[in-house]
Structure formats: structure tokens, C-alpha cells
Structure 1
């Protein structure tokens, strides 16, 4: 699976162009057509950060939200669900490790 496919899996239901997704991936240090390394905490964190950036851009674009109206969901419900997902991703990212910090300890003072 490529990085761009993993991002599409994480942002299912949000229709963005491939070019936009590529830019978001590159901004977070990932190459879109490289293989996704599920064993790397840094790669996983970067995918979640990219998904967060993508969802934040959708939340900041009222025109796009008007177009995402579903059968039984209003735009306000969609926005509430979107902001809830953004909050969940932020909490998840803060708690994630990277390849550089694998220990359970951190230095408060150096």
C-alpha cells in the first residue's frame, strides 16, 4: 500500500483531488508513492498528521461542507462530527511515539 492510499483510507468520505492529497503528504514529510511502512511509528504519526491537516482544511471551507450534504445528515451535524474527529486525531497524535523517541521516559529538564 502506498502512502497516498493509506491517507485515502484514513479520510474516507472526504473527496479531495490527488494533487491536494499529494501536497498534504509532502507537507508532512511523506512521499505519496512510496510504500507505507506500518511498522514505523513515525510513518503512522505522519499519516495521522496529514489526515488532521486534510480535515482541518475541510472544516475551514464552508463551500465544501455545503457540497458534502448526505441523505440523513445536515451540514451542522457533519461539521460537529468533523470537529469531533479532528479532536480525536489531535489527542491520538499527541500520545503517539516516533522512531526517535521509543522510550517511556522523557526529560523535563535538560
Structure 2
């Protein structure tokens, strides 16, 4: 699976051109056609950061911040649901960063500020 396919799993239902997806991935240090490695926490974090960037771009479009009705169904509070998803991704990213930092500290790169 490529980074692009993994990102598409995360942003299912959001339509972007391949060029737009490539730009978002490149801005987060990923290449579209590189193989996604699910065990690499840094790469997973970058996928989440890319999805977060896309959602933040959507959140910057005021025309989308309204209630939608389709076939007798209403999707209300789009903005609130979008912001909740942004918060969820933010929390996942922060958790992955803490796990990466913990792993780095266990590998001997721990810095002692006060040494006696």
C-alpha cells in the first residue's frame, strides 16, 4: 500500500486531485508512491498530520459551515463535527509523538540536564 492509499483511507469521502494529495503529503515529508509501513510510528504520525492539514483546509472554507439535507436526511453541525475530528487527530498525533520520544529515550539518547 502506498502513502497515497493510506491517506485516502484516513480522508475517505473527501475528494482531492492527485496533485493536491501529492502536495499535502510532500508538505509533511512523505512521497506519494512510497510504500506505507504501518509499524513505523513516524510515518503513521505524518499520515495523520497530512489528514489534519486537509481537514484544517476544509475548516477554512466558510461556505461549507452549514447544515446539509439530502433525501430526507439532515447532516447538521458540520463544523462542530469537523472540529471534533480535528481534535481527535490532534490527540492521536500528540500520542504518537510521546511514544516516539519515549522510544528515543529508551535507546540511549536521554539527556541529563543536571549531572552530579
Q: Please tell me the TM-score bracket, short chain as reference.
A: 0.7 to 0.9
Question: How many pairs were matched up?
Answer: 106
The answer to whether the aligner puts 1:34 opposite 2:67 as a matched pair is no
Q: TM-score under structure 1 normalisation?
A: 0.82
The whole-number CA distance in structure 1 between the counterparts of 2:3 and 2:78 is 26
Pairwise CA RMSD? 2.6
- What runs of 5+ residues in structure 1 fail to find an aligned partner? none
Change (3 A) 1:4 1:79: same
C-alpha contact (below 8 Å) 2:66/2:79 kept by paired residues: no
Aligned-residue offset at 1:61: 1.4
- What runs of 5+ residues in structure 2 fail to find an aligned partner? none
Q: Per chain length, whose mean CA-contact separation is higher, i.e. which structure has more relative contact order (CA < 8 Å, sep 6+)? A: 1
The answer to whether the aligner puts 1:102 opposite 2:103 as a matched pair is yes
Aligned-residue offset at 1:46: 0.4
Larger radius of gyration: 2
